Structure 1
Amino acid sequence: MSVQQALEWAFRVEHAQLDLPEPPDPEREQGFGFGLEYVLLQRAILGCKVDGGQYKIGSYTHEDAEVIAATIAGIPDSLGGKRMAIRVAELARAGLTPDWMPGAVPRCVPVEMKRNQHGERATTVVVGTERVLSRGKVRTVEVLACPVTFSPHPQNIEAARRAYSDWRGAVGWVREGLLAGGLLREISITDAMPRRTPWET
């Protein structure tokens, strides 16, 4: 299966839990114990799984799902670290990809609209006055303008697409880690990846 399908399987079907490392405690001495990666490596060496120690009483999480969750927990800080790991896991659990705002094109629209019995119109503001000659008399008239904005704003579209690219980079890192680690027993990861720039069609 593709890496995205594997992530969704691990978090949606197997209900894998993301086990993020605790932040270092400066008051505490060097910690004892082993990380999840070490435990998984030892299980692979043994060729079996030790009974017990499950997070969920009475249920079983597939070993491959635990390996996937452990790999996601190791996303480096250069790719977003813990925050990106949580985002990848949440999106996988929901079966979604980040919203890259498909079809979004900035449009010039009025800042505010008002409605009356004659229909909907853009609100205007006075930006100055002018003296004009009308029917033989000089009159002072207000110069009106309609404040406009761009919706959606180009920066919002760019930010959404940058977030998609960052997510795709993290998923690619997870894919490479799963292939290099060789700890998956029943699942094989294909070369398929989410599209690099789906907005370019």
Structure 2
Amino acid sequence: MSFHGRVSGTRIKRALGVQAALEWAFRIEQAQLELPLPPDVTEEGFGFGLEYVLLQRAVLGCKIDGGQHKIGGYTHEDAEVIAATVAGIPDRLGGKRMAIRVAELARAGLTPDWMPGAVPRCVPSIVKQNQHGTHVGSVVVGTERIRLRGPGARAAWKTIDVLACPVTFSPHPQQIEAARRGYGDWLQALGWVRDGLIECGMLREVELTRAMPKAKPWERTPPSRC
């Protein structure tokens, strides 16, 4: 994916949504996510943040000669700006943990698994196999006394086990809820990254659009009526 080119002296910008821009930066350009050290730890030369990139551009007044991480080549400066922005995701949106998640998903070209098509189903908890095949297992949940009639007026009492088949729901509703909550958290972080990149105006060859992944892809849009 190349961004080079000019028309009548004007640089051509490639319009990308935030997810596509992240995948370009981390997957194609192989930008590295460099997270800041804890406040009580200092180490010269450990990564950089968005403020660092701004400062360098202001001081140099020209294109930054970045790209030290991509093996055998140059990492595009816009990709480094995107990576620096991701590294600054605030704690209220997940902080470093979310930054790592956003970068890893972008590097793999993936969207968080929101368990599409998942519906809780009642299934037996115990399944046994033998030479006759697979069958559902049961457990003793109690006992009952029953009266057995014998010949004539004779009767007898017998204690029998009460059996039940324990069941569970798979996938569990809480599992589905957690997966979709995680998708929503990821989407919020992408929105923050998108807005930050648009507002800072530091991208030179990439133009961020407002396009976002679907808010709730598990909710089907009802068909329109004529």
Query: Which TM-score applies when normalising by structure 2?
Result: 0.80
- What CA distance in whole angstroms lies between the structure 1 residues aligned with 2:158 and 2:56? 90
- What CA distance in whole angstroms lies between the structure 2 residues aligned with 1:60 and 1:120? 58
Look up the equivalent residue of 1:96 and give its one-letter code: L
Deviates more, 1:118-127 or 1:177-186: 118-127
Q: CA distance change for structure 1 residues 87 and 57 in 2, over 3 Å: closer, same or farther?
A: closer
Q: CA deviation at 1:170?
A: 0.1
- What CA distance in whole angstroms lies between the structure 2 residues aligned with 1:40 and 1:176? 17
Aligned length: 198
C-alpha RMSD of matched pairs (Å): 2.2
2:186 pairs, out of 167, 170, 181, with 167
The answer (yes or no) to whether the contact 1:12–1:92 under 8 Å persists in 2 is yes
Deviates more, 1:181-190 or 1:51-60: 51-60
What's 1:145 paired with? 164
The answer (yes or no) to whether the contact 1:43–1:49 under 8 Å persists in 2 is no
What's 1:180 paired with? 199
What's 2:77 paired with? 63
1:20 is aligned to 2:35: yes
Which structure shows the higher helix fraction?
Answer: 1
> 1:74-153 counterparts in 2 under 5 A?
74-134=88-148, 136=150, 137-153=156-172
CA offsets per residue over residues 101-137 of structure 1, 9 Å max, x none?
1111111111110122333211111111112234534
Unpaired runs of 5+ residues, structure 2, are 1-15, 151-155, 221-226
Which consecutive aligned stretches of 4+ in structure 1 deviate over 4 angstroms post-superposition?
Answer: 31-35
1:54 is aligned to 2:68: yes
Q: CA distance change for structure 1 residues 21 and 134 in 2, over 3 Å: closer, same or farther?
A: same
The percent of aligned pairs where both chains have the same amino acid is: 68
SS of residue in 2 equivalent to 1:99: coil
Q: Which has the higher contact order (CA 8 A, sep 6+)?
A: 1
Look up the equivalent residue of 2:17 and give its one-letter code: S
SS of residue in 2 equivalent to 1:200: coil
CA offsets per residue over residues 163-195 of structure 1, 9 Å max, x none?
000000000100000100100011111121011
The answer (yes or no) to whether the contact 2:78–2:203 under 8 Å persists in 1 is yes
